[in-house]
Amino acid sequence: MRNEIVLIGPMQIGKTTISELLSLKMNKPHIHLDSIRTKYYEEIGYDEKEADRLFKEVGFFEGMYPYWKPFELHCIKRVLSEYYDCIFDFGAGHSVYEDDKMFSEAKELLSDFKNVIFLLPSEDTEESLEFLKKRNSNDDGIYESHRFNRHFITHHSNFDLCKHIIYVKDKSKDDIVNEIYSIYSAL
């Protein structure tokens, strides 16, 4: 079993911030998939112009998001095989798969990881959405964050992929980091 920490969860939950803090605390590299994904997407033919066309003609949720899914799966496959002894910070979409075959592949890729941690505001969906909506107050609506976060919070993928859920709503960053570190240290 691999002992790296993999953080998953909706947009603006704090995956990157928490990953950076864990990286400092544990003296391990922080791998932020959203920052490095393009090079992996391009390995299997990602076309930025096609993604832009889909976004403009169909929208993000119906056009660009489905287009990204095979590239996201390829990205996690490559990143998990290339990086070790680090903290992984998945983009919100990297852990949600509507297609059963893609989901099965993602589940298989993460099955060997003990510390797949789903960050979620609370157990209550509406409370979680309200929490994330406040964090996304600068969102201009282009990416429909509220709609996506509802999907990311209610879809089975994150729940089925994770080994642990941490509810962050009433916790400080240090509390969250310490809770994750305790999980990591106990295994």
Q: Would 55 be classed as within a structural domain?
A: no
Q: Would 49 be classed as within a structural domain?
A: no
pLDDT of residue 47: 96
Q: Would 128 be classed as within a structural domain?
A: yes
pLDDT in tens, the chain (187 residues): 999 999 999 988 999 999 999 999 999 999 999 999 999 999 999 999 999 999 999 988 899 999 999 999 999 999 999 999 999 999 999 999 999 999 999 999 999 999 999 999 999 999 999 898 887 765 555 456 778 889 899 999 999 999 999 999 999 999 999 999 999 998 6
pLDDT of residue 53: 95
Compute CA 28 distance to the chain's CA centroid, rounded to the nearest angstrom.
Answer: 19
pLDDT of residue 145: 72
pTM of this structure: 0.94
Instruction: Residue 158: give its domain's CATH number.
Output: 3.40.50.300
Q: Would 160 be classed as within a structural domain?
A: yes
Q: What angle do CA 170, 172, 173 make, to 5 degrees?
A: 130
Q: Would 152 be classed as within a structural domain?
A: yes
**130-143 in b/e burial notation, b at 16+ Cβ within 10 A?**
ebbeebbeeeeeeb
Q: Would 177 be classed as within a structural domain?
A: yes
Q: How many domains does the chain have?
A: 1
Q: Would 72 be classed as within a structural domain?
A: no
Provide the 3-class DSSP secondary structure of residue 143: coil
Bridge partners of 116, per DSSP, are 6
Q: Could you tell me the strand order of the sheet in which 2-8 lies?
A: 30-32, 87-89, 2-8, 113-120, 164-167
- The domain of 90 spans 2-33+86-186
Q: Would 48 be classed as within a structural domain?
A: no
Compute CA 141 distance to the chain's CA centroid, rounded to the nearest angstrom.
Answer: 20
